[in-house]
């Protein structure tokens, strides 16, 4: 490896929790191998570096950019565009960049509702705000106009903003998968990796036969050792309602386990601790809407032919369908967000 010239690596975070950056560090001593193979040219979370430095770089001069977080503000969109321009390979790193993740669930609200929650109703960050001060995109000061990034109504995924080459799923991606991805990129060289995608690796044209996702093309059940039988569900339970049997498929016990629809790669971590899969690795190849897969699969095995009973089973068992089926993928789903008020 050392005979290869060092590549240039950038890491960035947008609307995310920071877990992805920690996950990169969680590859432990292997981070030294990363440092050996790459010059880290930009990583605001861990290293000093200014946006201005990036702006000064030549277009395409960064070999790989691992971008985590969704796009919620104009600043994040600007950075996405900037890093896209400067990078040969842009990787949507983790669930937020790939499909919106938990920050994307705020697409069930509007900007106003989000601000009301934070600035009016009180929150950990803004406990008191008697004057109801709200962030303003532009504020006039004697020295001139100060700008704050504009907060969008709708969080977008990275590939709804700029073209993305690869996706690394997970919330956060498992250390092992991160290492595999980095070695794949380093080992094959950026060009070789891209050559595997004759039609251009982008998930924008759905469905796409080419998988730009660095991961397995099957679902979590593949890695789950539980006993599975034919499925018939008479009642859905929430996790606190039952203590599930440790050997039988959780879904068969009525728990909303998303493992059936979720890309494998984590090693079925949650089912291993008797907890249903929540779907953080996102959808399998060629799937245009994760939530629709869950809805269709679950509904198909409801054990009733009576519309009233079916409705009751669904409404009682799944009080929060969006949170259950789109916990990680709302922003990347077909509808992307809740309907806003009637637009004239």
Partner 1 sequence: MADKIGIYVCHCGSNIAGTIDVEEVARWAGKNIGDVVVSKDYKFLCSSLGQQMIEDDIRSEGLTGVVVGACSPHLHEKTFRNACKRAGLNPFLCQMTNLREHVSWVNSDKAAGTKKAKALIFAAAERVKRQKPLEPMEVEVNPATLVVGGGIAGLQATLELADAGYLVYLVEREPSIGGHMAQFDKTFPTLDCSACILTPKMSEVGQHENVTMFTYSELEEVSGSVGNFKVKIRKKARYVDYDKCTGCGICTEKCPRKVIDDVFEAGMGYRKAIYSPFPQAVPRIPVIDAENCTWFTRGKCRVCSKVCPTDAVDYDQKDEIVELNVGNIIMATGWKLFDCKRIPQYGFGRLANVYTNMEFERLCNAAGPTSGKIVMRDGKTEPKSVAIVHCVGSRDVNSNPYCSGVCCMAALKFGHLVLEKTKAEVYSFYIDMRTPMKDYEEFYQRLLEEGMHFVRGKVAEVTDAARKPDEKGKLIVQVEDTLLGKQRRIPVDMVILMGGLEPQADAKELGLKCGISCSMAGWYTERHPKLDPVATMTDGVFVAGVCQGPKDIPAAVAQGAAAAARVAGMIAKGTVTIEPIVASIDEEGCSGCRICNNLCPFNAIEYDEEKKVSRVITALCKGCGTCVAACPAGVITGAHFNNEQIFAEIDGILWDAKPQAEVEIASV
Partner 2 sequence: MSNENFDPKIVGFFCNWCSYRAADLAGSARIKYPLNVRIIRVMCSGRVDPTFVLKALADGADGVMIAGCHPGECHYINQNYKAMRRYEMLKHTLTAMGVEPERVRLVWASAAEGRQLAEAIDKLVSDVRRLGPLHWPRNWDENGERQKALDDIVKEHEEAMEVPA
Contacts to partner 2 by CB under 8 A: 51-52, 55, 74-75, 77-78, 81, 108, 137-138, 147, 149-150, 152-154, 156, 288-289, 291-293, 295-296, 298-300, 302, 304-305, 307, 310-311, 314-315, 318, 320-322, 325, 333-340, 342-343
**Residue 232 interface partner, choices partner 1, partner 2, none, CB cut-off 5-8 Å depending on type:** partner 1
Paired tokens of 64: 């790989």
DSSP string across 205-231: SSS-SS--BSS-SSBGGGG--SB----
* Position 269 contacts partner 1 (CB under 8 A): no
Find the DSSP H helices in 40-144.
Answer: 51-56, 74-86, 94-99, 101-104, 111-115
Q: Spell out where the chain has E strands.
A: 7-13, 38-42, 62-68, 71-73, 87-93, 138-141, 144-147, 151-156, 166-168
**Nearer to partner 1 (CB atom), residue 8 or residue 293:** 293
Find the DSSP H helices in 231-340.
Answer: 269-272, 290-300, 307-317, 321-325
Residue with tokens 């036969």: 209
Residue of 192, 204, 315, 320 that binds partner 1 (CB under 8 A) = 204
Q: How far is the CB of 48 from partner 2 (least distance, A)?
A: 14
- Using CA atoms, how far apart are residues 67 and 83, in angstroms rounded to an integer? 9
- Using CA atoms, how far apart are residues 295 and 87, in angstroms rounded to an integer? 38
* 189, containing H or E segment: helix 175-195
* Position 116 contacts partner 1 (CB under 8 A): no
* Position 294 contacts partner 1 (CB under 8 A): yes
**Nearer to partner 2 (CB atom), residue 188 or residue 205:** 205
Q: How far is the CB of 284 from partner 2 (least distance, A)?
A: 13
- Using CA atoms, how far apart are residues 52 and 55, in angstroms rounded to an integer? 5
**Nearer to partner 1 (CB atom), residue 4 or residue 232:** 232
**Residue 217 interface partner, choices partner 1, partner 2, none, CB cut-off 5-8 Å depending on type:** partner 1
* Position 60 contacts partner 1 (CB under 8 A): no
* Position 150 contacts partner 1 (CB under 8 A): no
Residue with tokens 């998988």: 211
**Residue 264 interface partner, choices partner 1, partner 2, none, CB cut-off 5-8 Å depending on type:** partner 1
**Nearer to partner 2 (CB atom), residue 192 or residue 204:** 204
Residue of 163, 176, 241, 245 that binds partner 1 (CB under 8 A) = 163
Q: How many residues belong to the site for partner 1 (CB under 8 A)? A: 39
């Amino acid at each position: 490896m050392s005979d290869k010239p060092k590549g240039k690596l950038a890491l960035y975070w947008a609307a995310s929790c920071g877990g992805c950056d920690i996950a990169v560090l969680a590859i432990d001593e292997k981070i030294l191998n990363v440092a050996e193979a790459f010059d880290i040219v930009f990583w605001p979370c861990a290293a000093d570096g200014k946006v201005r430095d990036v702006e000064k770089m030549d277009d395409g001069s960064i070999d790989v950019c691992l971008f985590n977080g969704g796009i919620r503000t104009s600043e994040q969109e600007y950075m996405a565009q900037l890093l896209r321009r400067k990078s040969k390979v842009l990787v949507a790193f983790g669930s937020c960049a790939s499909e919106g993740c938990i920050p994307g669930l705020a697409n069930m609200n509007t900007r106003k509702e989000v601000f009301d929650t934070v600035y009016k109703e009180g929150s950990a960050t803004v406990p008191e705000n008697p004057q109801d001060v709200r962030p303003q995109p532009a504020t006039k000061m004697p020295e001139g106009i100060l700008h704050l990034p504009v907060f969008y109504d709708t969080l977008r995924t990275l590939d709804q903003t700029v073209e993305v080459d690869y996706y690394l799923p997970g919330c956060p991606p498992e250390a092992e998968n991160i290492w595999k991805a980095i070695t794949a990129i380093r080992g094959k060289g950026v060009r070789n990796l891209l050559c595997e995608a004759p039609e251009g690796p982008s998930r924008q044209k759905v469905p796409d036969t080419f998988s730009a996702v660095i991961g397995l093309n099957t679902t979590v059940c593949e890695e789950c050792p539980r006993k599975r039988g034919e499925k018939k569900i008479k009642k859905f339970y929430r996790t606190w309602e039952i203590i599930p049997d440790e050997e039988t498929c959780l879904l068969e016990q009525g728990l909303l386990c998303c493992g059936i629809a979720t890309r494998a790669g984590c090693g079925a971590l949650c089912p291993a601790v008797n907890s249903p899969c929540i779907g953080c690795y996102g959808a399998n190849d060629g799937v245009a809407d994760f939530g629709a897969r869950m809805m269709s699969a679950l509904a198909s095995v409801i054990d009733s032919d009576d519309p009233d009973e079916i409705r009751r089973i669904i409404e009682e068992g799944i009080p929060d369908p969006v949170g259950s089926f789109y916990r990680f993928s709302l922003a990347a789903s077909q509808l992307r967000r809740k309907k806003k008020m009637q637009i004239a």
